[in-house]
C-alpha cells in the first residue's frame, strides 16, 4: 500500500538540466542577475516581484507586439486584483504566436488526429498555416470585424482548431460548445454573446453510435437572432448535402480558395484588453458566467504553463483527452506555442477497448499523456499494463487532471506504465484557462501530491477569517494578480457578478472555491470544491443547468443536487426531489428525469441516484443549501455544515443529516477525513 506523500520518482540530473525551466533559470541569471538556488526560491521571487517576473516571460519568449507596452501591469485605484490591466500599450495576436513555428516546422506534424469516423492521420505545420490563412481571409471577406463573436458546435477535429485560430487571427472573439451539449445548454451560452457566425458539424460518433445534429443546429440557429452565417462541416457524412438553412455555406466551399502566402497575410494585432475568447462557467447560480480572457493575458500565461510546468518543446507530442466544451481543449491547442505537436481525438476513450488511448499514445509517440483519476481506476480494474502492451518509450510525463488524485493513482503509473516517468497532477480552472498548482520537472514526485505552486501564482491556504495555514486544509486563495485573470464577464454591468464570484469573501483577494492543503515543503493537495459547483469526472457542471431541466418535468415541484468527491477519484452525485401532490418517485419517473437531463444537458448531468424528500432546505435569502448538504454528505457535523438560524425551513435539514449518517449508497469516509483534517 503506497502512503500519501511517499516519494515515487526523482528526476535524473540530465532530465532536470535540459528542462525548459532550468534553461530559463540560467537565462535569468545571465540576463537579469537573478540567481535562484532551487524552484522554491524561483517561485518566491516570481510572486514577490510580480512585474519583474512577467516582464521576464515577455522577453524570454520574445512576444511580438506592434507597440511597446507602457508598464507590465496597472492596478486599479483601490489597489486590488480585480481590474488589473496587463501590458497596456501593447498590441499582440494570440493566433500569430500559435503559428510562429510554421516556417521552422515545415512538413513536421503539428496535429496527429483520429476519430471514430476518421483514420489516424497527421497535419503539417505548413498545411495548418495554409488553411488558417485561407479561412481567416474568407471570414474577413464575409465582413467579420475585430470584436465580432464567432461560435462553434463542433467535435475535437483539426477543422475546429483551424476555425479557432482563424477567428483569433482577425481579432474576432471565439467561443465553443461540444456537440454532445443539449440545445438549451448551448443557447444559454451563445445567446449571451450574440454571435454573428456559427461553425457547426452534422454530428459525431461516440462508442460506435452516430449522433446526428442537423435538427439541433437548426434550433440553435433559430434562437440566435444575431447570427448571420453558418459554416457547415460534413463530418459524419462527408458526401452528404448541407441542410436547407438560410445563410449556410459548406466548409469545403469556404476552403476552396487560392492559397494566401504567409508573407502577404496580416494578423490583426489587438490592444492589451481585447477579448480573445469567451469560456463559460458551469452555471451554478443562474446562467453560465461568460468569462472573457485577453490575447495578451492568455498568451503570457500559456507560454509559462506549457513551457515550464509541462516542459513542452518542438520535440514534444502532447495528448490530453478532451472535448471542445472544456478548457483543456484550449490548452491542447495552446501547446503549439512551444512548437509541440498536439494529438486530437474525437470519440469514446475506452472504445473499442479499454486500452485504446494507450494505443493512440504509442502510435503518435506521445511524450505527454493526459488522464483523469477515473480513467486510471478503470485501467487498474481491467488489469491493464500499458507499458507491457505498447511501446511507450517516448513518454516522459503524465498529466493527471480533472479531479483530486490519490496516492494509488500515482503509483499505478509506475507499476503499469514505466518507472522513469514524471507523473504530475494539476489544478486550476476555466476562469483562468490554466493552473494554480501543478508540476515542475526539477522536483521529485510524491504520491498523491501536486508538486508545487506554479510560477507567478501567489497561492495560499486560508482559514475562513484569513489566516494562513500550512499542513492544514483551507480555502485556496491567490493574493497577487496574474495575466490570465478574466478581463471581465460578458454583460456584467459594473463587474458585479465577477466580484461576487471571486472577491466577495476576501475583498481584494481571489478566492477560488477549492479546498487546498499546502505542506511544509510546498507540495499541494486539492480536496474538491468548497462551493456548490459540481465536479464530475473532471467536468464542472452547474446546478442551475440541472434545475432548469429537472423542474420542467411535470411531477417535480423542487430539487437539489450535489456532488461528493470520493476516494479513488470517484464521485457520488445524488439528486433530491420534492414531488407535486399525487406524484410517485418510481422507476418510470426516474427514467423520464434522466432522459430529460441527457437530452437537454448531457450524459454527464445524469445523477447517480434520485431520492424523494419532503422539503428542500433554503437559506433565509432564498438560496438552495447545496454547500451545507454536500458538507453533510462528506461527514461534517451539522453544527459545522449549516446554521439552522440562517434557514428558511430549519426542519428540512434533518432528513439530510439522517441520510448522511445512514446511507450505504456511497462511501465518503476518505474524503471526509481529508476535508476535516
Residues shown for the chain: 677
Domain coverage including residue 550? 542-675
Select from 399, 421, 456 the last residue of a domain: 456
Q: State the cell numbers at 84.
A: 488589473
Residue 306: DSSP 8-state: I
Within-domain flag for 439: yes
Of 448 and 446, which is predicted with more confidence? 446
Q: 120-137: per-residue pLDDT in tens?
A: 999 999 999 999 999 999
Within-domain flag for 286: yes
Q: Count structural domains, the chain.
A: 3
**How large is the average pLDDT for residues 259-280?**
96
pLDDT in the model for residue 284: 40
**How large is the average pLDDT for residues 491-502?**
93
Select from 242, 261, 276 the last residue of a domain: 276
Q: What is the CA radius of gyration of the chain?
A: 24
Q: Given the DSSP bridges, would you call strands 121-124 and 368-371 parallel, antiparallel or unpaired? A: unpaired
pLDDT in the model for residue 415: 94
Q: 15-68: per-residue pLDDT in tens?
A: 999 999 999 999 999 999 999 999 999 999 999 999 999 999 999 999 999 999
pLDDT in the model for residue 441: 97
pLDDT in the model for residue 536: 67
Mean model confidence pLDDT for the chain: 91
Q: 67-93: per-residue pLDDT in tens?
A: 999 999 999 998 899 999 999 999 999
Select from 276, 297, 326 the last residue of a domain: 276
Q: SS3 letters for 624-675?
A: ECHHHHHHHHCCCCHHHHCCHHHECCHHHHHHHHHHHHHCCCCCCHHHHHHH
Same domain assignment for residues 58 and 141: no
CB-based contact 397:335 (threshold 8 Å): no
What 3-state DSSP class applies to 590?
Answer: helix
pLDDT in the model for residue 191: 96
**How large is the average pLDDT for residues 330-353?**
95
pLDDT band at 318 (very low <50, low <70, confident <90, very high): very high
CA 85 to chain centre: 23
CB-facing half-sphere around the CA of 314: CA atoms within 13 A? 10
pLDDT in the model for residue 676: 35
Torsion of CA 640, 641, 647, 649, to 10 degrees: -120
Same domain assignment for residues 421 and 301: yes
Same domain assignment for residues 381 and 296: yes
CB-based contact 91:268 (threshold 8 Å): no
pLDDT in the model for residue 671: 43
Give, in order, the Cα–Cα distances in Å from 99 to each of 110, 124, 154, 322, 497.
10, 11, 22, 22, 35
Same domain assignment for residues 580 and 598: yes
Q: Write down the residue that cell numbers 506534424 correspond to.
A: 109
Q: 571-585: per-residue pLDDT in tens?
A: 899 999 999 999 999
pLDDT in the model for residue 549: 85
Q: State the cell numbers at 30.
A: 545571465
The residues, any chain, with a CB within 8 Å of residue 207's CB and separated by 6 or more, are 116, 347, 348, 351
pLDDT at 672 over 90: no
CB-based contact 301:483 (threshold 8 Å): yes
pLDDT band at 604 (very low <50, low <70, confident <90, very high): confident
Same domain assignment for residues 295 and 402: yes
**How large is the average pLDDT for residues 613-622?**
79
**How large is the average pLDDT for residues 523-533?**
76
Backbone phi, psi, residue 91, to 5°? -140, 110
Within-domain flag for 17: yes
pLDDT at 294 over 70: yes
Same domain assignment for residues 220 and 308: no
Same domain assignment for residues 79 and 188: no
Within-domain flag for 464: no
Give, in order, the Cα–Cα distances in Å from 96 to each of 115, 295, 299, 425, 627.
27, 10, 10, 30, 43
pLDDT in the model for residue 675: 35
User: Which runs of consecutive H residues, i.e. helices, occur in 20-145?
Assistant: 20-32, 39-48, 50-60, 94-98, 102-105, 125-141
pLDDT at 381 over 80: no
pLDDT at 570 over 80: no
pLDDT at 545 over 80: no
pLDDT at 640 over 50: yes
CATH code at position 425 = 3.40.50.12780
Amino acid at each position: 500500500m503506497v502512503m500519501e506523500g511517499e516519494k515515487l520518482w526523482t528526476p535524473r540530473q540530465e532530465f532536470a538540466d535540459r528542462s525548459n525551466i532550468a534553461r530559463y533559470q540560467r537565462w535569468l541569471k545571465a540576463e537579469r542577475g537573478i540567481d535562484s538556488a532551487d524552484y522554491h526560491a524561483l517561485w518566491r521571487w516570481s510572486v514577490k516581484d510580480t512585474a519583474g517576473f512577467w516582464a521576464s516571460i515577455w522577453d524570454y519568449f520574445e512576444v511580438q507586439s506592434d507597440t511597446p507596452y507602457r508598464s507590465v501591469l496597472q492596478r486599479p485605484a483601490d489597489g486590488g486584483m480585480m481590474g488589473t490591466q496587463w501590458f497596456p500599450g501593447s498590441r499582440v495576436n494570440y493566433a500569430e504566436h500559435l503559428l510562429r513555428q510554421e516556417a521552422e516546422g515545415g512538413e513536421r506534424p503539428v496535429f496527429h488526429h483520429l476519430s471514430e469516423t476518421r483514420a489516424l492521420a497527421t497535419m503539417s505545420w505548413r498545411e495548418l498555416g495554409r488553411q488558417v490563412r485561407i479561412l481567416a481571409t474568407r471570414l474577413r471577406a464575409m465582413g467579420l470585424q475585430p470584436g465580432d463573436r464567432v461560435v462553434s458546435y463542433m467535435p475535437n477535429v483539426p477543422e475546429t482548431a483551424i476555425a479557432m485560430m482563424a477567428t483569433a487571427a482577425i481579432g474576432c472573439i471565439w467561443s465553443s460548445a461540444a456537440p454532445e451539449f443539449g440545445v438549451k445548454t448551448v443557447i444559454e451560452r451563445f445567446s449571451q454573446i450574440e454571435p454573428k457566425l456559427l461553425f457547426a458539424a452534422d454530428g459525431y460518433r461516440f462508442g460506435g453510435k452516430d449522433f446526428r445534429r442537423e435538427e439541433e443546429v437548426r434550433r440553435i440557429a433559430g434562437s440566435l437572432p444575431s447570427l448571420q452565417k453558418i459554416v457547415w462541416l460534413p463530418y459524419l457524412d462527408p458526401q452528404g448535402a448541407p441542410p436547407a438553412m438560410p445563410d449556410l455555406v459548406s466548409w469545403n466551399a469556404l476552403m476552396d480558395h487560392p492559397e494566401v502566402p504567409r508573407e502577404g497575410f496580416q494578423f490583426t494585432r489587438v490592444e492589451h484588453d481585447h477579448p480573445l475568447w469567451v469560456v463559460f462557467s458551469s452555471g451554478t447560480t443562474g446562467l453560465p458566467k461568460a468569462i472573457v480572457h485577453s490575447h495578451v493575458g492568455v498568451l503570457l500565461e500559456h507560454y509559462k504553463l506549457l513551457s515550464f510546468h509541462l516542459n513542452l518543446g518542438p520535440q514534444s507530442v502532447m495528448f490530453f483527452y478532451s472535448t471542445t466544451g472544456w478548457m483543456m481543449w484550449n490548452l491542447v491547442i495552446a501547446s503549439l506555442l512551444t512548437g509541440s505537436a498536439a494529438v486530437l481525438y474525437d470519440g469514446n476513450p475506452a472504445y473499442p477497448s479499454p486500452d485504446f488511448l494507450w494505443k493512440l499514445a504509442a502510435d503518435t509517440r506521445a511524450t505527454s499523456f493526459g488522464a483523469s483519476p477515473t480513467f486510471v481506476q478503470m485501467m487498474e480494474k481491467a488489469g491493464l499494463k500499458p507499458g507491457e502492451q505498447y511501446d511507450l518509450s517516448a513518454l516522459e510525463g503524465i498529466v493527471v487532471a480533472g479531479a483530486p488524485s490519490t496516492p494509488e493513482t500515482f503509483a499505478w503509473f509506475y507499476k503499469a506504465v514505466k518507472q522513469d516517468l514524471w507523473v504530475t497532477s494539476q489544478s486550476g480552472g476555466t476562469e483562468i484557462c490554466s493552473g494554480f498548482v501543478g508540476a515542475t520537472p526539477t522536483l521529485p514526485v510524491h504520491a498523491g501530491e501536486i508538486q508545487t505552486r506554479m510560477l507567478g501564482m501567489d497561492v495560499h491556504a486560508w482559514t475562513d477569517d484569513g489566516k494562513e495555514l500550512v499542513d492544514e486544509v483551507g480555502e485556496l486563495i491567490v493574493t497577487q494578480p496574474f495575466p490570465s485573470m478574466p478581463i471581465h464577464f460578458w454583460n456584467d454591468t459594473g463587474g458585479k457578478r465577477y466580484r461576487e464570484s471571486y472577491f466577495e469573501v476576501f475583498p481584494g483577494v481571489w478566492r477560488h472555491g477549492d479546498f487546498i492543503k499546502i505542506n511544509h515543503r510546498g507540495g499541494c493537495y486539492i480536496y474538491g470544491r468548497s462551493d456548490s459547483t459540481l465536479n464530475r469526472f473532471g467536468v464542472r457542471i452547474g446546478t442551475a443547468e440541472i434545475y432548469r431541466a429537472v423542474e420542467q418535468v411535470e411531477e417535480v415541484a423542487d430539487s437539489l443536487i450535489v456532488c461528493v468527491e470520493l476516494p479513488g477519484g470517484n464521485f457520488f452525485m445524488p439528486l433530491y426531489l420534492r414531488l407535486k401532490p399525487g406524484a410517485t418517485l418510481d422507476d418510470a419517473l426516474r427514467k423520464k428525469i434522466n432522459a430529460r437531463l441527457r437530452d437537454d444537458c448531457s450524459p454527464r448531468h445524469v445523477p447517480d441516484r434520485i431520492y424523494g424528500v419532503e422539503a428542500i432546505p433554503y437559506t433565509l435569502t432564498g438560496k438552495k443549501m447545496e454547500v451545507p448538504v454536500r458538507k453533510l454528505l462528506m461527514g461534517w457535523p451539522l453544527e459545522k455544515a449549516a446554521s439552522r438560524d440562517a434557514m428558511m425551513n430549519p426542519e428540512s435539514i434533518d432528513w439530510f443529516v439522517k441520510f448522511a449518517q445512514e446511507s450505504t449508497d456511497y462511501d465518503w469516509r476518505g474524503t471526509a477525513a481529508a476535508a476535516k483534517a
